[in-house]
Structure 1
Amino acid sequence: MMDLDIPPTQIDADVQRALTEDVGAGDLSAGIVPGERRARAVVICRQAAVICGEPWVRATLRQLAPAATVTWRVPDGGRCEPGQAIFEVEGGARELLTAERTCLNFLQFLSGIATRTAVFVDRVQGTAARVLDTRKTIPGLRQAQKYAVRCGGGHNHRMGLFDAVLIKENHIHAAGSLPAAFRAAQALAPQASFIQVEVETLAQLEEALAIGVTMVLLDNMPLASVRRAVAMAGGRCSLEVSGGVNLENIRAYAETGVDRISVGALVKDVTAADFSMRFAA
């Protein structure tokens, strides 16, 4: 499994919220099944996908069916073919029926992110550019979504406002100038993993380079300007492209020589992967 880097308590909390929402006071439909009935179920993926979600599935089963046994077939970060079995589970039939939708919801959502990320990552193979996510996540599920990006071969930008500094247009306006904003950010440097400055023009890039900025985000710059920005920087700073990046143009941006490309669509424009659970004989 991929490096999770998420506290188990966070995963348990994610699952508990989902179960409270779905199960509430009890599963009325599962009540029609005799309590002593046991079952074996197989979960398959109906499409080619990159799998993600095992920790959340296991946490769901621990909370609802602690005696169930799970055999996982495709690890997180692994690719599957249409119709391939992802995991098998055996336990009380009632408990498995109640757990089914929550397990599949996490699996389909996170695998959708991992699969989409892998498509973007595949497009930039052979270049030096890394594909990153953004903070455009569903509230309460950011850590899960960023884990899914890693499963798809992407990289994480900052986790939140607390771990790094990104000086954007509004920060510069409120601080009075780019140098003033950057100096204030440097005072926070011991607390920040990095300081990055967003620029929209080549003139702003020149100003950033002049004051010693070492990480620059090129916001919504056309391809020709990005090429000029790479030449201007001459390796003096790390350059990231953001805004307007899609599957049709990401390769061209990567070939300019930028270091990073952040894509909000990895976590906000997600198509769920198609999974199904079936009871087996």
Structure 2
Amino acid sequence: MKFATYSADGKTHYGAVTDDGMIALNDDFPAWPTLLDAVRANGLAALAQAAIGKGLSHTDFQYEMVLPNAPRILCVGVNFPDRNAEYKDGSAQPKYMSLFPRFASGFTGHDRPLIRPPENHTLDYEGEVAIVIGKAGRRIAQDDAYDHIAALTLCNEGTIRDWVRHAKFNVTQGKNWDRSGAIGPWLVPFTDANQLDDARIMTRVNGEVRQDEALSRMMFPIRREIEYISTFMTLQPGDIIVTGTPTGAGARFDPPRYLQPGDVVEIEVNGIGRLRNTVEDEVV
């Protein structure tokens, strides 16, 4: 079963996703007013049970960023061998992973537009798998890492490329423009290592395949990401780790192929689903 945050009838809800619409569940769990609260309470199984036999609540709705109140989002950069080679700096695989923070305000939901700001038009796409932590932990061993995952989702880690070059040692300002990326459409409960170990990311722009790579080729596998991050911070339920994008982002073409208004970006991962977004210019 899949779970999403969505808006309908002027209100924000969360619930179970079906082929025909949404089964609202938030009113059934007053102690869990948001989907983040359900994750923090290890409640996804209870949500699934509550949805059984329950009728549709909404067929007319809009997806929201799946955890719009997520307090901590950490992204892993340059995590595939070919992606490292794209930088053409002759560097070998790094000893440690690159990390940077993103904030929930920088993301929108499935089937919503990514927003290109007037200050700069180098909006780029990055298709990635995102994991949602379900069990707290510090100094988590790789063998135990998957035990701390509650759910999986997809991320378009949209980036304003020119703004990641504004400073020497950080990319934060290019990674956090309002609604420049997307996370969703839903959470898929994590139950089996094969959901990650056998997964493959594919990103299409206007139907053209731009990224196509197996997660097994990551330089820093997800088990290692959890181990490393939990060394310096206690991972908490509801934390999101965006695990890295393959080669093929628009900035690496010659000339670059940045997103334009009207473009359609689709990120698909077997076993998780498909995240689709259009592109619009910001109205100021």
When normalised by structure 2's length, the TM-score is 0.25
Normalized per residue, which structure has more strand?
2
Q: TM-score, normalised by structure 1?
A: 0.25
Q: Which has the larger radius of gyration?
A: 1
User: Higher helix share goes to which structure?
Assistant: 1
